[in-house]
Amino acid sequence: MAEQGTYDVIVIGAGPSGAVAAASLVRYGYRVLVLERQHFPRFSIGESLLPQSMAFLEQVGMLQDVVEAGFQHKNGAAFCRGYDYDFFDFRQKFSAGWGTTYQVQRSQFDKTLADCAERQGAEIRYGQTVTAVSRHDAGVVVDVLAETGEAYRMEAGFLLDGSGFGRVLPRLLQLEKASTLGARLALFTHVEDRIVDPRFDRNKILITVHPFVPEIWYWLIPFSNGRASVGVVLPRDRFDEESMDRLATLQGYIAEGGMLSEFLSNALFDTPMRKLEGYSSDVERLYGDRFVLLGNAGEFLDPVFSSGVTIALKSATLAAATVHRQLQGLNPDWQQEYEIPLRTGIDTFRVFVEGWYDGRLQDVIFANNKSEGVKAMISSILAGYAWDSNNPYVSEPARLSTLAELCRG
């Protein structure tokens, strides 16, 4: 196998976590190589950003590129159940920081970030698949298969896995473990939405709950070009690929969606359907000897609150700073400096995801008697500020159960 050189850091995956980590490390002065299996632009799910993400993009000099890309402005999240409707304005939140963000076609968004990382000095190689990883005292050895069929080997002082749902290192190093969240799948597509209904706010993601089966929900994410991402999330046992058509299933559920069905009454379904299942994942640990897992490569909860990109960017900035300290010989405590801080926010989101599916959070969202102060605290978490320990629902996420009882009362 050909030897092709040594870098300070190798990053697997050029998605948001990989691009931001690479840009951060380049800013610290390291030689960084990013190995990406696909070619950009390419389709990806996770199209509604959270305002907390903007701070991370600003930190690595990517914000201006995103602002100039022409994405759909987003200032909150709206919720619908039949014809019950409420919304959270992220500009009216408990935590300090960004209150607006964007809804993005990930093909364009991810390429924007990757191109920015490349301009800053990271080297990105597309069409490259990591096939094996080994470690030695000085760092890591990565075996790569190029799309041309050439196999080669690279070395680095540290390895970051930002491969997302590809989960390269969890598979190669046997780090995967079963998620505690239920087995669900998503059916989704892009449409020409043709929405003219004045009740619909394009500046907000719309999350709709099925009026009779509350564990079934839909997303409607409008883009800036008159198109939208539309999907339904179902318990795994409610869809059979052999006997059920994907498009007919999605449209059938939309027809039962109350206000949502009226919003999409003129929509043109002109794009092939996609399915994603088994997406909730977990790992035994997020770091090890000379490697760290970023974003979805480590843990993915659920798409309901669009937390994936925010967690990915948070993990990238935390990991880059900790890798820097390690490469400087400072012997960082990865548990205290990376895993525990990252899991603080993940665990907050987890409580809200669990509360969504067991009904507690839905009772809060659709309650008529929410105080403005409590609504601002919930809005902060929905905006991505799941690491703000000043928020009582971050410092003590179990408060959600008490709040749900009060709202029911």
Token pair for residue 180? 């505690």
Whether residue 304 sits in one domain with residue 339: yes
Tell me the percentage of the chain whose pLDDT exceeds 70: 100
Asked if residue 296 has pLDDT above 90, the reply is: no
Choice among 193-207, 233-247, 291-305 with the minimum mean pLDDT: 291-305
pLDDT at residue 372, rounded to an integer: 94
In this model, does residue 384 exceed pLDDT 70?
yes
50-54, 235-239, 297-301: which has the minimum mean pLDDT? 297-301
Does 351 fall in a domain? no
Q: Which band of pLDDT confidence, cut at 50, 70 and 90, is reported for residue 1?
A: low
**78 part of a folded domain:** no
Q: Where does a domain end: 256, 277, 298? A: 277
Q: Is the pLDDT at 396 greater than 90, yes or no?
A: yes
Q: Which two tokens stand for residue 26?
A: 């380049």
- pLDDT, mean over the chain: 94
Domain match, 238 and 134 both? no
In a domain, 286, yes or no: yes
pLDDT tens track for 158-172: 999 999 988 999 999
257 plus 293 within the same structural domain: no
* Residues 204 and 337 grouped into a single domain: no
Per-residue model confidence (pLDDT) at position 77? 98
CATH number of the domain that residue 300 is part of: 3.50.50.60
At a CB cut-off of 8 Å and minimum separation 6, what does 180 contact? Answer: 282
**Are 20 and 125 part of one and the same domain?**
yes
Residue 90 lies in a domain: no
Q: Are residues 24 and 130 in the same domain?
A: yes
Could you report the per-residue pLDDT of 101-115, keeping only the tens digit for each? 999 999 999 999 999
Residue 303: the pLDDT is 84
Q: Are both 314 and 166 inside the same structural domain?
A: yes
- My answer on whether 251 and 189 are in the same domain is yes
Give the Cα separation of 380 and 182 in Å (integer): 26
The residue written with tokens 């990382």 in the block is 117
pLDDT for 351-373, tens place per residue? Answer: 999 999 999 999 999 998 889 99
One domain for residues 241 and 377: no
Structure tokens at 34: 């990013």
Count how many domains the chain has.
3
**Structure token pair of residue 285:** 């640990």
Q: Are 264 and 309 found together in one domain?
A: no
Q: In the listed set 345, 379, 399, which residue is the last one of a domain according to the structure?
A: 345
Query: Is residue 88 one of the residues assigned to a domain?
Result: no
Give the pLDDT score at 247.
Answer: 97
Give a yes or no: residue 306 inside a domain: yes
Do 294 and 336 fall within a single domain? yes
Which pLDDT belongs to residue 31?
98
Range of the domain at 120: 2-48+55-71+105-178+280-345
pLDDT of residue 182: 75
Higher pLDDT among residues 338 and 369, named by residue: 338
270 and 318, same domain (yes or no): no
* Domain end (from 345, 369, 388): 345
**Residue 145's CB: how many other CB atoms inside 10 A?**
17
pLDDT of residue 215: 92
